[in-house]
Amino acid sequence: MHKHSWTLLLGMFVVSACSGTHYYTARSTGSALLEVTDPSNPSLVSGPGSNLAQYLQTYHDSLDRSMNQVLVQSAKYLKKGGVESELGDLLTDLFREQAQKRYGATIDLAHMNNGGIRSELPAGNLTLRNVYEIMPFDNDLVVLTISGETMRQFIEYLSARQDPQSGLKLVLDKDTKKPLEISVNGQPFDPQKTYRILVSDYVATGGDSAFFLKNSLKSEPLNYLMRDAIRDYFVSKGQQHQILNPQLDGRTTLR
């Protein structure tokens, strides 16, 4: 078929297509602001907004009851930061304990980046609100199987950052923060072995400059939120009438 014939057919198609086209005109719609200044106290709101305030009140009360539910008690205020902290020890220990129950095998090291701990824990009653304050993000726990070389990199990484950890006994150079002595679960670190580590899904995919973890031999998401692990642990201890009272154990020291 000649070039001009193709052009003619294309023109006829366009005309035909356009003849069946429907055009719509946008219309403006009315809108109004409803004042809901205090959903927790509908009596302070008048007009149409009062109905919305009363509707929201039910959810506000239900959420408040859940958030203020006492899960467990803490013997003291728990702070984060430093070479080792009671809060960091508590969180990494409970992550490792809760994860091993779900995973069904030993996890050599649990890690938590300091920046991911968004609050500290008060003395006295700990509620679900405290759990959300300390861990507001929907981060999952992930088990990574890594080579000895990647484990060495990871140990140097968390040592330099002074991140909380569970499973290691570390002696660091006080000036350089480089590891001088390393043991894993009471055994000398062996660069020829493979290890299982527990991290957040954020760190597992290279977040927080842990890009070398992309070289892991296996990645196994537990589909278990870190926040849920904290809640479950607190609930369990509360039901057993145990009071949280973590102690520094010298798992990371400077020399």
* Whole-prediction pTM: 0.78
Please give the pLDDT value at position 73.
98
Rounded Cα distance, 242 and 46, in Å: 48
Taking only the tens place, the pLDDT of each residue in 75-133 is 999 999 999 999 999 999 999 999 999 999 999 999 999 989 999 999 999 999 999 99
SS3 category, 13: helix
pLDDT at 239 over 50: yes
Mean pLDDT, residues 227-233: 98
**Cβ count near 236 (within 10 Å):** 15
Taking only the tens place, the pLDDT of each residue in 32-81 is 665 655 555 655 555 655 666 666 666 666 677 889 999 999 999 999 99
Element (H, E) at 204: helix 201-204
